[in-house]
């Protein structure tokens, strides 16, 4: 933290950023940002208004602004780019690695992305336009266009000369140097350590090892298998004819897998429309959440109608009211466990919608065991509390049966929704909650009604 002149109170980083931005002191602003940790920089930026963020980025040289933007979540970085003039945004994107620059452009409205591409050099714009044409979760959508590839006849000296010519743009050395034939197809790869230790006149081909490329249309699951199998930090990407079109970094694949898991988790929790951060406009955040919550209000009213139907039974045995939320909540937890496993196996490609019957049988087996165990436990609690064995039998049986129902729904509904081309991550939770609540309430109150003479 810095301190204000004549004041011992520390000045928070975001306040200092705001001051420097208002003053328009670019050099002092760069100096201050260099001293901040990346996480502290992100935190400080989030405390500034949208207009202050835009002005701050405009004060920075394009190269420095690119470094700053690289530390931000994609959705936030794209939000800043979208507010800049297209020419200023183009200068920043030009300083980014092509894979990250393409990721940001895909976050923008198509017209805004095109406006930025129109301001860039034709060659670079063409590369980025090609990258953003691929789906986000295939090799083409994750790869970059920066790589080191040389003809099979190239020597070590040729690589060194090329490296020196790129000196201004080289931040880190590549892990491997690729060799390509006359048709631009990868024929092998040379470890950078072998290149640097060899004599300048050594042909690269004599140092080469076999390399396995990935196809441009390979999906995340296949790419994850590739990097776990070969334990390499990067892979050449080829088109349908086997020609080299890019390079794919290992961390890009694993970052995409983690992002996909986070998005699915957000959907399960009712965050609709993609990633949500609190810098987004309040109206946007409210609309995204209400689209899910309003549906849940209706579903909960439907579930609660079961209680209204059996209100006389509740009036006769007040203790039942204590066990209604326990039965529904415990069953819901079991169902959510089943949803989580099904979603994970769907993501990995282990199961498909046609496997619903097999999945149901596997989940029902687990649900039967867990339901009996939980039912006995809850029934025992009810008996010890009220001293009525029939009350324990009612709530215990209701929990056991509802647990079986919940895991059956949790295991199979995502598959059925997937088969109907609906979003299983978004819709499975509300379906599970409504059915388990309704069925749980019905079981407790229905069984209690049948056993009412022994409960009162």
Q: What confidence score (pLDDT) does residue 46 get?
A: 80
What is residue 348's predicted lDDT score, i.e. its pLDDT? Answer: 67
Q: Is the pLDDT of residue 54 over 90?
A: no
What CA–CA distance (Å, rounded) separates 256 from 136?
9
* Stretch (H or E) spanning 334: helix 320-348
Q: Domain ends where: 142, 159, 184?
A: 142
Domain boundary among 108, 142, 176: 142
- What ranges make up the beta strands (E) of 234-307? 234-238, 244-249
pLDDT per position as a tens digit, 10-52: 568 888 888 888 888 888 888 888 888 878 888 888 888 888 8
Q: Give me the CATH number covering residue 180.
A: 3.10.580.10
Residue 10 forms beta bridges with which residues?
3
Helices 74-83 + 98-107 axis angle, to 10: 70
Give dist(CA 303, CA 296) in Å, integer.
10
Are 217 and 358 within one domain? no
Binned at pLDDT 50, 70 and 90, residue 71 comes out as: confident
Rounded to an integer, the average pLDDT of 303-310 is 83
* pLDDT at position 286 over 50: yes
Please report which helix (H) or strand (E) contains residue 10, including its range: strand 10-11
% residues pLDDT > 90 (the chain): 35
Task: Give the pair of three-digit tokens for residue 96.
Answer: 């980014």
Residue 230 pLDDT grade (very low, low, confident, very high; cuts 50, 70, 90)? confident
Give domain status of residue 276, yes or no.
no
In the chain, the percentage of residues whose pLDDT exceeds 70 is: 89
Contact 173, 192 (CB under 8 A): yes
Rounded-to-integer distance, Cα 147 and Cα 302, Å: 58
pTM of model > 0.85 = no
Q: What is the mean pLDDT of residues 306-310?
A: 86
> What number is the average pLDDT over the span 168-188?
85
Residue 277 lies in a domain: no
Let me know whether 243 and 334 are in one domain.
no
CATH number at residue 395: 1.10.357.20
| pLDDT value at 139 more than 60 | yes
Choice between 304 and 328, residue whose per-residue pLDDT is larger: 328
Please give the Cα distance from 102 to 105 (Å, whole number). Answer: 5
Per-residue pLDDT, 456: 77
Average pLDDT rounded to a whole number, residues 281-303:
69
Q: For the residues 405-418, what does the mean pLDDT come to?
A: 90
Above 90 in pLDDT, residue 279? no
Q: What is the pLDDT of residue 364?
A: 93
What is the spatial distance between Cα 443 and Cα 401, in angstroms, rounded to a whole number?
A: 8
Predicted pLDDT at 157? 93
Q: What does the radius of gyration of the chain's CA atoms come to, in whole angstroms?
A: 30
Residues 371, 333, single domain; the answer is yes
Q: Show the tokens assigned to 355.
A: 């496997």
Residue 97 is part of a domain; what is its CATH number? 1.25.60.10
Strands 149-151 and 186-191: unpaired
Residue 73 lies in a domain: yes
> Exposed/middle/buried for 422, CB within 10 Å: 0-12, 13-18, 19+?
middle
Task: Please tell me what DSSP assigns to residue 107.
Answer: H
pLDDT at position 6 is 47
pLDDT reported for residue 226:
92
CA distance linking residue 343 with residue 358, whole number of Å:
15
Query: Whole-number mean pLDDT of the chain?
Result: 85
Instruction: Tell whether 338 is covered by a domain.
Output: yes
Name the token pair of 395. Answer: 């709530």
**What H or E segment, with its residue span, contains residue 404?**
helix 389-419
Cβ(375)–Cβ(326) under 8 Å?
Answer: no
In a domain, 316, yes or no: yes
| Nearest residue to 358 via CA among 371, 369, 345, 348 | 345
7 has a pLDDT exceeding 70 = no
pLDDT digits (tens, 9 = 90+) for 120-129: 999 889 989 9
Of 227, 242, 268, which closes a domain?
Answer: 268
Model confidence over 313-370: pLDDT tens digits? 888 888 898 999 999 899 988 988 888 888 878 876 788 888 999 999 999 999 999 9
**104 is in which domain, residue-wise?**
2-142
- Lowest-confidence range among 66-70, 152-156, 260-264, 321-325? 260-264
pLDDT tier at 374, thresholds 50, 70, 90:
very high
pLDDT at 291: 61
**112 with 185, same domain?**
no
Residue the block writes with tokens 């490329």: 213
Same domain, 252 and 302: no
Residues 161 and 290 in one domain: no
Q: Given pLDDT bands bounded at 50, 70 and 90, which one contains residue 9?
A: very low
For range 122-149, the mean pLDDT: 90
Contact between 355 and 415 under an 8 Å Cβ cutoff? The reply is yes
Structure tokens that stand for 277 in this block: 């951060």
Give the DSSP letter of residue 202.
Answer: -
Per-residue pLDDT averaged across 177-206, rounded? 91
């Amino acid at each position: 933290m810095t301190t204000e002149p004549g004041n011992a109170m520390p000045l928070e980083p975001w306040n200092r950023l705001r001051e420097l931005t208002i003053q328009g002191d670019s050099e002092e602003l760069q100096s201050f940002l260099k001293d901040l940790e990346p996480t502290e920089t992100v935190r400080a930026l989030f405390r500034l208004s949208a207009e202050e963020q835009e002005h701050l980025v405009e004060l920075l040289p394009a190269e420095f602004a690119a470094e700053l933007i690289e530390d931000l979540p994609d959705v936030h970085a794209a939000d800043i780019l979208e507010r800049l003039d297209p020419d200023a945004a183009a200068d920043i994107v030009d300083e980014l690695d092509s894979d990250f620059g393409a990721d940001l452009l895909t976050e923008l409205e198509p017209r805004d992305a095109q406006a930025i591409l129109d301001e860039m050099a034709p060659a670079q714009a063409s590369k980025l336009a090609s990258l953003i044409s691929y789906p986000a979760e295939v090799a083409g959508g994750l790869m970059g266009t920066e790589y080191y590839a040389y003809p099979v006849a190239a020597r070590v000296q040729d690589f060194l000369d090329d490296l020196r010519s790129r000196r201004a743009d080289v931040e880190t050395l590549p892990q491997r140097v690729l060799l390509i034939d006359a048709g631009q197809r990868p024929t092998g790869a040379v470890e950078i350590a072998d290149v640097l230790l060899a004599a300048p006149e050594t042909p690269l081909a004599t140092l080469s090892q076999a390399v396995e490329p990935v196809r441009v249309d390979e999906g995340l699951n296949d790419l994850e298998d590739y990097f776990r199998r070969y334990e390499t930090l990067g892979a050449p990407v080829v088109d349908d004819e086997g020609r080299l079109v890019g390079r794919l970094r290992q961390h890009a694949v694993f970052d995409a897998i983690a992002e996909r898991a986070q998005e699915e988790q957000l959907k399960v929790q009712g965050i609709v429309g993609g990633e949500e951060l609190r810098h987004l406009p309040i109206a946007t955040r409210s609309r995204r959440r209400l689209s899910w919550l309003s549906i849940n209000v209706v579903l909960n009213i439907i579930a609660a109608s079961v209680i209204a139907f059996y209100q006389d039974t509740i009036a006769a045995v007040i203790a039942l009211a204590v066990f209604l939320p326990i039965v529904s909540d415990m069953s819901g937890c079991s169902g959510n466990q089943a949803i989580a496993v099904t979603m994970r196996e769907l993501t990995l490609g282990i199961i498909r919608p046609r496997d619903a019957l097999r999945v149901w049988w596997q989940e029902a087996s687990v649900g039967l065991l867990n339901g009996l165990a939980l039912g006995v436990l809850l029934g025992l609690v009810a008996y010890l509390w009220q001293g009525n064995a029939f009350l324990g039998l009612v709530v215990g049986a209701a929990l056991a049966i509802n647990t079986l129902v919940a895991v059956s729904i949790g295991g199979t509904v995502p598959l059925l929704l997937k088969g109907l081309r609906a979003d299983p991550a978004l819709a499975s939770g509300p379906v599970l909650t409504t059915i388990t609540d309704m069925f749980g309430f019905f079981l407790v109150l229905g069984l209690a009604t049948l056993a009412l003479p022994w409960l009162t």
